[in-house]
Structure 1
Amino acid sequence: MKKLEKIALAHQLKREGFNVSAIARKCGVSRNTVYAYLEKDFDTAMEWVDILKTRRKKLDVYQDVILDWLREHPDLSASQISDWLEERCDFWEVGESTVRSYVKELRVQYHIPKILRKRHFEAIQELPKGKQIQVDFGELKVKVTDGRTMKVYVIAFVLSHSRYKYAEWQEKPFTTRDVLRCHENAFEYFGGITEEIVYDQDKLMTVSENGGDLIFTEEFQAYKQNRDFRVYLCRKADPESKGKIENVAKFIKYNFGKNRVFHQIETWNEQCLAWLERKGNYQVHNTIKKRPVEVFALEKPHLRKVSLPLSFESNLNYSITRMVHKDNVIKYKSNRYSVPLGTYQSNEDNTVYIQEEGEKLFIKSSPDGVLLATHKISTGKGKLIKNTHHSRDRSKGIAAYMDTIRKSFQDEKKIQAFLDELYERYPRYIRDQLQVLQKAITQYETFTQQALDICLREKLWSANDFHDVVKHLSTMKGVEEQTPEDELSATSVPKELLKQKAALRDMDSYIKILGGI
């Protein structure tokens, strides 16, 4: 009787003055179906429904086959069944939506529910007052007064303890300078700054995770040092690591911006601030069951005061970026260029920086970082340009990797203690840390044991610290860094480019540690 009820509802809504589009939305059917419903009177509708009950369907011939598939694979989707019917049974006579409806009926009739593999998440303890701000971005299409639609962009801030929010909109995508300006406005709105700020991964702030020692864009690094806050960066494509981030931007977009007519950005931001006072920060929060404005009154004294707003003038030029695909290639000007096997890492930031000089294309891990590959630029289209040495499998298991590193040291107990600390402090980045360590051992083999002793004595628990110490020891002894010959021959790179190094931390901090050595 479900179809009969929909037919009756369509006629009722038509009598009440609803148009066909509105009726289709309310009945959950297409407009063509609504037209068909409205053409039927009650008697015709009854006859039609009876026919539907008894008529044979084209898929009935394959019912037993489909049931066998569903019983064997309860998680099988209707799309896969449609594909299997075409592939295995040469059946093409119905569309995928028809298969979907048929499979849905079979699941109900024969009690074969679809198995969904769910990921389990753990509730997180509430953070103390003044501990953390979370930052989120969003965009929204809005109607303009002349009937057009346009896209506006929002950055949202929320205090983790009180859920007190601030948001700022603009008509163009955010730049790093825009983000920093909005930070200053948020700190002024909150009346202070927290110890930590949480970000989803964004190219406006971060360049690379560098084995756990985050590398930020130059502008953001300078700002972070000036304002002296700690950064928590969520892992890309990992929803569990993003458990701290509330989707506050989505809340603001659909509770403030949806169906609102846009006039100008200044008015829009004024309306948003008024909405925050009236609604966003005043209504009872569903999790803490309190009004954010009331909890914020208790949290505000715990915020650290900030100085006057900063200026963000900058003339920085950024390199062109590309994403490394899972087959370890980048796309550039309609061609594909290889990078070393293992460059792509699942759930990691796979951005690389490219630079074109003459007929050469240079691919780097960061603007001033490691050179990953050099290619001659192809004049064709749709081609794969691949270096032969990029096909070697450089991956190792963590245990085997550690064992290789242990054998490079005279005192295996000391290196084991260092490796244990690395694993405890950088569990998410242990492979990256081992790669940095292996590189330092290869380049400065003579000084590795001495550097290890210093790191253990001074509690420098990072592969990057180890690399800095061993490099400093080598510099003091007048020994230059050695680049393996096979790496030099594998890439035809100009000497002046090979001499470019990534920015390192100030070595003055190690001179005191290394005094007298």
Structure 2
Amino acid sequence: MEKWKVYMEIYQMKQQGFKIRRIARKLGISRTTVYKYLEESPEEMSEWMASTRSRKRKLDQYELLIHTWLSEHPDLSGAQVHDWLKERYPDLSVGESTVRSYVKELREKYDIRKVVLPRSYEAIPELPMGKQVQIDFGQSKQKTVDGKTKKIFVICFVLSHSRYKYAEWLDRPFTTRDVIRAHEHAFEYFGGIPEEMVYDQDALIVVSENGGDLILTEEFQRYHRQRRFQLYVCRKADPESKGKVENSVKFIKQNFAKNRVFRNIDQWNEQCWFWLERTGNGKVHNTIKKKPADVFSIEKKHLKPITKKIIISPIDSSIARVVRKDNTILYESNRYSVPLGTYDKHNSVYVIVTDDQIFTRILIYPNYYSTFYSNFLYS
């Protein structure tokens, strides 16, 4: 009935002699809409309204689900609804503009007002392919399955030319070792290494700046010497230097993380990587007007190849050991058991020694960890 009401107001105002510009301004609609409505007679408009009421649309079967989402999360955007539908129904073929229009109709139908947040835009010169990756951190508070709130942390890598992204989450604050390990995962994800890394002055990477010379943390300095990439450190929240990654962190938090329920960090990361493939890198970027995945397919050829793989052990005090075929390890001439099935040529095992017992942490290729108690067998 809303469209019919608008049509009748336009029709009556035109009959009273109002100009098109005045009608559009008074009703808060575009002049194109006014012209479109005036092309139809009241009879034709009535017939068209009747046909739309009887026509079944593709999204009607999801109305209850979308209504539930909007009721629980009034700030949900049409783009996020589109992504959630694609996540739950991969075979559903529907355009984002169609979902946005449908969400708008449901908001009007059920009187669900949207919380509007201001949006920042970037204006940064383009760089050559393979030249630069920008890195930044973020954090988010998520509802858990038991109704509590959990703070989680993310590191994001964005290739400046293609806007191709990689993200990794932790359920605790990052350490320098975590940052280094995330670099290796990002390079593996990209299939190569860019020439230059751009950071802000984060304490995990930079100790201080002395007369323009950067003093890196000891651990990151050691890693920097191994990888030999160019390093540029800018001020925090500096959109001119690393606006691409700041916008990407915001995009990840607003489109992926917002209103999503946190269960555990492994599932959360898995969902995020699927989201990157589906939306983060698979959706047309507003600035370059292309999908980052499509541009990356060309930029990937310009990255430096990974000639040597660097495995970062989980903690500093761990000691690498080889797992035997009988699922045991040797430590100081003693034999310790590990869970059946641990033996695998791709697995790296690290021994953690405490005062009264020995633990083993296993790195399962490429990036999953588990820790367990190792039983002493014999000397």
The alignment's TM-score, normalised by the length of structure 2, stands at 0.50
More helix by share: 1
More strand by share: 2
Structure of greater Rg? 1
- State the structure with bigger RCO (CA 8 A, min sep 6), 1 or 2: 2
